[in-house]
Chains A and B, each alone.
Chain A
Amino acid sequence: MLRALAAGILVSIACSIAGTFVVLRGLAFIGDALAHGVLPGVAIALILGIPGIVGAAAGAVVMIGGVSVVTSRSRLSSDSAIGLLFVGMLALGVVIVSRSTTFSGDLIRILFGEILGVGPQDLLVQAVAAVLLGAAAFVFARPFLLLCFDRDQAQVAGFSARLYHNLMLLLVAGTVIASFQTVGTLLVFGMLLAPASAGALLAHRIGAMMAVGALIGTISSYVGLLLSYYLNTAAGATIVLVATIIFFVVLAAVNLRSLVPATDEVAA
């Protein structure tokens, strides 16, 4: 249980950093693509008996490549093509897993994670991922900030927009790959979006947004684990559900507050 909480906190830290960029740069689409694309990779790894994380990385590469090919080939809006690509990858993953004898158990584990079963090695991978992400966010803070503000401004300021955009994608992919064992390929998307979105509503600075996101993620992990223990529900899904509920509570609170004339905010 303690190990599960540690895993939850590490995932929360990584996801709040990557999720902040996902929210600010409008990359939710890519986050979703990664969540779907990772599945067949993990499934193939499972069949071949190689580490799931290797398969996940391969799946992420294929998915990002697929999205960029579809987007660049089609001059029209490519929503349908990309949507099909997502579902296709999901179906492919399920088809591959269905060859396994423990079909439904494996599928559930990949999609929704196994936070109660994380081992010391998984924790190490997640800790390394969180540290690397934090370091990257710190080192590239200025170009990332410019990119979030305006892609053209980053480019004109001499920071290659393409380079830093790709670097940002790499960070998001790394987060998904390092986190899927804990919360699953589908739910990791929720941990990317919900805490960072709540952070965007509450914070006025990007560093603060990451901190608020990590805090909300940690609270969600703790409360989610407790609830799942007493209610006998799936741990990963309960955590993501708590994070999502917190986001909507924050959204409602912020909207309510904006209805009241805020006289003290001007002086702040």
Chain B
Amino acid sequence: MSGSAGLAPPGAPIIAAHGLAVGYDGRSVVEGIDVGVGARTSLALVGTNGSGKSTLLRTIVGLLPVLRGELSVLGARPGGAPARLAYQGQFHASGFVLPLRAIDIVRMARFPNRGLFGRMTEEDHDLVHWALRTMGVENLARQPLRSLSGGQQQRVYLSQVLARRADLIVLDEPTAGLDAGGRERYLQAFAAELERGATLVTSTHDIGEAVEYDQVLLLARRVVALGPGRDVLTADRLLETFGIVLRDPHLEHEGRLVVAERAHGHPQVVDRGPQAP
């Protein structure tokens, strides 16, 4: 199946959740999630550590069971359409002892489409190299993964996501560990994935990045707000989500808010336009 053959018509929901409760070991972390994400749109999850972002993402990709409510993903139950889904979690258990080169990691992206025995095609080969090139790590393709730095490994993992050619891309804090160049490549590459027709769901601590998304879901072990970034990311709601919002008079003069997250510690600047309250 070629990468774009399975794309849903525009407007059809890629993710539809009604009264969804997510959690693990039978205990819910966030309840009452109602969200619809259409094709070619993006959703950012914003909240503190432990607010339920990763739990929701892992439920969407089928790694955690739905506790209550309904959740349909790519027109099926979560995890029911692996050939159309790409997921990148926060941590990789291995990578350290694994005797694999960067290119071997990216090649794995094509396994769901090829099954146990299907031969890798010319298209697969081209996709793998295109993905490595897009993330700027083609020169590291034949290096053992364990010899790469954390940021370089993250670029390789993101190349793997790109090479999936998925209809739904789910990323858990993809920019963590990336340098400025890596971030720039990530932003461009995944904006292009949206253009191609993919749907993007990402958790992020970067408020300035989240504001660019079609929808933002603010989480604090409950749904604080859901809507377009510029409507949702207000001072009051960020205060509700993170606990502390710094009001820097110099920055506020320019219409910017600074969020200091209690748990995480990296202040983020929100550009809310000149008419900020």
Q: Tell me, in angstroms, the Cα distance from A157 to B82 when the chains sit together.
A: 5
A268 near B142: Cβ-Cβ < 8 Å: yes
Q: Which residue of A lies closest to B144 (CB)?
A: A204
B1 interface hit (Cβ, 8 Å): no
A155 near B93: Cβ-Cβ < 8 Å: no
A153 near B87: Cβ-Cβ < 8 Å: yes
Interface string of A239-268 (1 = CB under 8 A from B): 000000000000000000000000001101
Interface string of B96-115 (1 = CB under 8 A from A): 01111100110010011011
Interface string of B109-125 (1 = CB under 8 A from A): 00110111000000000
B residues in contact with A268, CB < 8 Å = 142
A215 interface hit (Cβ, 8 Å): no
B61 near A204: Cβ-Cβ < 8 Å: no
A103 interface hit (Cβ, 8 Å): no
B63 interface hit (Cβ, 8 Å): yes
B105 near A149: Cβ-Cβ < 8 Å: yes
Q: Knowing A149-B92, A152-B63, A152-B89, say if A158 contacts B99 (CB, 8 Å).
A: no
A residues in contact with B112, CB < 8 Å = 157-158
B residues in contact with A2, CB < 8 Å = none
A143 interface hit (Cβ, 8 Å): yes
B62 near A155: Cβ-Cβ < 8 Å: yes
User: Which of B79, B95, B104, B142 makes the CB contact (< 8 A) with A156?
Assistant: B79
Interchain nearest-CB distance for A76 vs B (Å): 14
Interchain nearest-CB distance for A206 vs B (Å): 6
The SS class assigned to the A binding surface is: helix
User: Which of B87, B89, B104 makes the CB contact (< 8 A) with A205?
Assistant: B104
Counting chain B residues whose Cβ lies within 8 A of the other chain, the interface size class is 20 to 34
Q: Tell me, in angstroms, the Cα distance from A148 to B95 when the chains sit together.
A: 9
B residues in contact with A23, CB < 8 Å = 97
Residue among B95, B104, B112, B142 with the most chain A CB within 10 A? B112
B residues in contact with A153, CB < 8 Å = 87, 89, 108
Q: Tell me, in angstroms, the Cα distance from A151 to B93 when the chains sit together.
A: 8
A residues in contact with B62, CB < 8 Å = 155-156
A149 near B116: Cβ-Cβ < 8 Å: no
Interchain nearest-CB distance for A215 vs B (Å): 15
Q: Tell me, in angstroms, the Cα distance from A152 to B59 when the chains sit together.
A: 12
User: Which of A142, A156, A206 makes the CB contact (< 8 A) with B100?
Assistant: A206
B94 interface hit (Cβ, 8 Å): yes
B245 interface hit (Cβ, 8 Å): no
Q: Tell me, in angstroms, the Cα distance from A66 to B115 when the chains sit together.
A: 34
A156 near B92: Cβ-Cβ < 8 Å: no
Interface string of B125-155 (1 = CB under 8 A from A): 0000000000000000011100100000000
Q: Tell me, in angstroms, the Cα distance from A206 to B145 when the chains sit together.
A: 13
User: Which of B94, B101, B105, B111 makes the CB contact (< 8 A) with A204?
Assistant: B101
A209 near B99: Cβ-Cβ < 8 Å: yes
B111 near A203: Cβ-Cβ < 8 Å: no
A24 near B97: Cβ-Cβ < 8 Å: yes
B85 interface hit (Cβ, 8 Å): yes
Interface string of B43-75 (1 = CB under 8 A from A): 000000000000000100111000000000000
B218 interface hit (Cβ, 8 Å): no
User: Which of A139, A148, A151, A208 makes the CB contact (< 8 A) with B116?
Assistant: A139
Q: Tell me, in angstroms, the Cα distance from A24 to B100 when the chains sit together.
A: 11
User: Which of A148, A150, A159, A200 makes the CB contact (< 8 A) with B89?
Assistant: A150
B residues in contact with A159, CB < 8 Å = 111
Residue among A149, A159, A205, A265 with the most chain B CB within 10 A? A149
B residues in contact with A208, CB < 8 Å = 99
Q: Tell me, in angstroms, the Cα distance from A159 to B85 when the chains sit together.
A: 13
In addition to A204-B101, A208-B99, 17 A-B residue pairs with Cβ atoms within 8 Å of each other are A23-B97, A24-B94, A143-B116, A146-B108, A149-B94, A149-B108, A150-B92, A152-B87, A153-B89, A155-B62, A155-B63, A157-B108, A158-B79, A200-B99, A204-B100, A204-B144, A266-B143
Interchain residue pairs A-B with the least CB separation, the first 5: A158-B82, A157-B112, A156-B87, A142-B111, A203-B99
- Interchain Cβ contacts under 8 Å between A and B, 7 examples: A24-B94, A139-B116, A145-B104, A149-B98, A150-B89, A156-B63, A205-B101
